[in-house]
Chains A and B, each alone.
Chain A
């Protein structure tokens, strides 16, 4: 649907992608730190990890909330079909996110060992389960889900847990773990920093193996994506950028440039989501086995007027948000220093 020279539907496809990519880049490291949490052993180390993300995790999570809200407003049929279809999976995701959130706030408020242990497990399990379920959801979107002629989900909860989706779930945990480890490197010093440097290698290997298997599985078993790649060979340039970004991470870590490693990790996410988006476009949810029922940017969208209003909101809101978010990260720059206000 064209409005003047603007294809609002395509623009919103991109913006939704931007919101969820932003979420991955930011809350991805919060969830990653959570996934690593139980590998640290001492109370002080665990407090440092919590305080590395402490001031910023809540603002980071808002990217998910806003992404969900934008999806509701721009593509209500996707929001309705996916959220009701993936019902139990989303309930589990919500419970995981709740535990992650409250564990951060509650954990250090009492001195008892059993209390801290309980919330450490809640924080870590919540982070890992959230990452996993987000990956499972992405995997289902890519693989395709059965959609009937009314546009409703026609599968079951268990049908969502097929091998490809589980693979994406594990890959997402691996990706966030790596991302979180790099962020933790930036925020820590001393023995914990050295310990993390050692773990980064294992995180990277874990991710790279998952990434390789996922890439092969996608090319072999997800025909609509493979076909898109075959028809548009220029997409290989993005895949290449993706691989270079991954390769750059160990290089920067080795040189002690933690920040550049983090930016590379962000670039990995950006290029992965970019590839995902370009391989899906204009579909938002692929219908498998009946591709004609796929939800795309036209049949799932709200009215042009709404898309236009939303674009104005985004045009005003996003730059303001980015500006103060950058300032707030700047205020909290540097290594974690525990004081009486810390978690």
Chain B
């Protein structure tokens, strides 16, 4: 195997595994703020118990997120050194910003969130929870800004030639608010909120199926369903906006997502298909005529660019992009249906008798995980053959001095370690869930037991 393919595999493996965790941290972080905020307001002991339980789950996902995250920061330099030289000004400064403004905030206040229950007043603890949540969200901002610049570069100029060419910042805010960053940020955040919310929904539904911790489960389910429903609906809006952006800024990517080879007016929106890249056709295509043109241009008669407008060497892998994109969209719609059903019957009062729906909700945690991964892979595969869209091709970004056997060694090492981590994660999470919330947490201890106004 050649070093380029191996490096791609290594990056896919490490980022794909890492991405199971930060969305959970971001989503759960939001849920924690809501639950602890509600407890502060109504002092219902059930909410204190919920805050404690979900914080313990949060700690587990956060630890693995951190551990697998450093790998990525190093990996730009280890495997993609030439790319790093090219984009250091831009990408590096976004990463440094992520460190100084986000990581310190979330990791610092994590101390108080996890261990400060008995050491600080309820208000100070809540502040810490908010800071951890904010830090997690800030880190999403900077990494999405960095990745978006790779997709739609802006605010820069190229200095130097050939191997010495590099991108230098001309306008920092244009670089940050590049054409795709805000759309993609909202999209990533919605996906993260869904991930956290549906973890809460799943566990709560499971408890209800087993007739355990029912008060706890109902209250948690309420929070999870509200956040999950809102995030899933907002995700649809965000997805649409992102799609319009891709049509404008990365037309080859959109064409691949839709398996569109010929530039056509009244371009159809494909629902299913299998792209045969040799014959440049889509087998078994099920499509809605005119809908793609309409969604992008608000006018079905306007054309969408097809892949034949681009030289073959400038097109991404078509079928892979197509399938990943469709998986993401399908699951996304599925989440709206599942959340909607749960939401509807919860408020109507009959959810708890519908075991089929509780089962669906118990499995719903998988939805955002699959959609988030498929979406990211679609975005990055769809960006090929570029590592910086239109400027630098992926093979050109590879480290000059790293050999294939070294990368293979790294892949094997990381695979083994991540397999172990995943097994332990599932084991410990399951253990926590089986154990359930602590009865002792219904009585807040130490400073948490103090009411405001009493000293």
User: Interface of A with B (CB < 8 Å)?
Assistant: 54-56, 58-59, 61-62, 64-66, 68-77, 79-85, 87-88, 90-91, 94-95, 97-99, 101-102, 104-106, 109-110, 150, 152-154, 157, 302-303, 305-306, 309-310, 313-314, 317-318, 321, 324-325, 328, 331-332, 339-342
CA distance A64 to B89 in the complex (A): 19
Decide yes or no whether B343 CB sits under 8 A from chain A: no
CA distance A98 to B71 in the complex (A): 9
A95 B417 Cβ-Cβ under 8 A: yes
The interface stretch among B80-88, B204-212, B305-313, B351-359 is: B80-88
The one of B101, B108, B399, B406 in contact with A88, judged by C-beta atoms closer than 8 angstroms, is B406
Interface of A is mostly: helix
CA distance A97 to B105 in the complex (A): 20
B100 A66 Cβ-Cβ under 8 A: yes
Contacts of A83 in B (CB 8 A): 74, 76-78, 81, 84
Interface of B is mostly: helix
B100 A321 Cβ-Cβ under 8 A: yes
A62 B169 Cβ-Cβ under 8 A: no
Decide yes or no whether B103 CB sits under 8 A from chain A: yes
> Which 10 pairs across A and B sit closest by C-beta, in order of nearness?
A76-B88, A83-B77, A73-B92, A66-B99, A55-B111, A72-B92, A317-B100, A84-B81, A80-B81, A84-B399
Decide yes or no whether B1 CB sits under 8 A from chain A: no
Contacts of B68 in A (CB 8 A): 98
The one of B98, B169, B428 in contact with A306, judged by C-beta atoms closer than 8 angstroms, is B169
Contacts of B114 in A (CB 8 A): 55, 341
The interface stretch among B58-66, B248-256, B322-330, B364-372 is: B58-66
Contacts of B100 in A (CB 8 A): 66, 313-314, 317-318, 321
Contacts of B99 in A (CB 8 A): 62, 65-66, 68-70
B82 A80 Cβ-Cβ under 8 A: yes
- Contacts A91-B409, A303-B169, A317-B100: A72 and B88 contacting too (C-beta < 8 A)? yes
User: Interface of B with A (CB < 8 Å)?
Assistant: 59-60, 63-64, 66-71, 73-74, 76-79, 81-82, 84-85, 87-89, 91-93, 95-101, 103-105, 107-112, 114-120, 131, 159, 163, 166, 168-170, 172, 399-402, 406, 409-410, 413-414, 417, 421, 424, 428, 431, 440
Contacts of B170 in A (CB 8 A): 305
A59 B111 Cβ-Cβ under 8 A: yes
A150 B119 Cβ-Cβ under 8 A: no
- Contacts A302-B92, A341-B114, A341-B117: A91 and B70 contacting too (C-beta < 8 A)? no
